[in-house]
C-alpha cells in the first residue's frame, strides 16, 4: 500500500498557486530528492510513496520556500479500535485493553 502525502498551496487571499515545485525528501535532509511534482491548477500537490517513514516536503515558489513534515506512523486513512473492559466484582478498579 502506498503512502500518500498531499496539500494545497494558496495565497493569503485563497487563490491557488500554480506551478510551484514540491520535493519529497527524507526527514531533515536536502538530498536526495525522492520525488518532485508541480502544483496543479487548484494549487494541489500529491506524492504516493511506497515506503513508510519520516519525510519532509519542500515547496518552492520563486524565492519563497515552505517546509511540511510528515510522519507516516501518525497518519491514518482509518483507525479501527476495539475495547475490552475488565472490572472486578467490587467495582473498585477497571482496565481498558
Q: How far is CA 40 from CA 6, 8, 59, 63, 91, in A?
A: 12, 9, 13, 19, 59
pLDDT at 84: 60
pLDDT tens for each residue of 36-49: 999 999 999 998 87
pLDDT tens for each residue of 24-71: 998 888 889 999 999 999 999 998 876 777 888 999 998 888 888 877
Q: Which pTM was predicted?
A: 0.68
Amino acid at each position: 500500500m502506498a503512502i500518500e502525502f498531499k496539500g494545497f498551496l494558496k495565497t493569503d487571499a485563497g487563490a491557488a498557486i500554480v506551478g510551484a515545485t514540491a520535493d519529497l525528501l527524507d526527514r531533515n535532509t536536502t538530498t536526495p530528492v525522492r520525488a518532485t511534482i508541480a502544483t496543479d491548477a487548484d494549487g494541489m500537490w500529491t506524492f504516493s510513496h511506497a515506503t513508510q517513514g519520516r519525510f519532509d516536503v519542500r515547496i518552492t515558489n520563486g524565492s519563497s520556500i515552505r517546509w511540511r513534515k510528515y510522519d507516516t506512523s501518525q497518519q491514518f486513512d482509518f483507525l479501527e479500535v476495539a475495547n475490552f473492559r475488565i472490572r472486578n466484582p467490587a467495582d473498585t478498579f477497571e482496565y481498558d485493553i
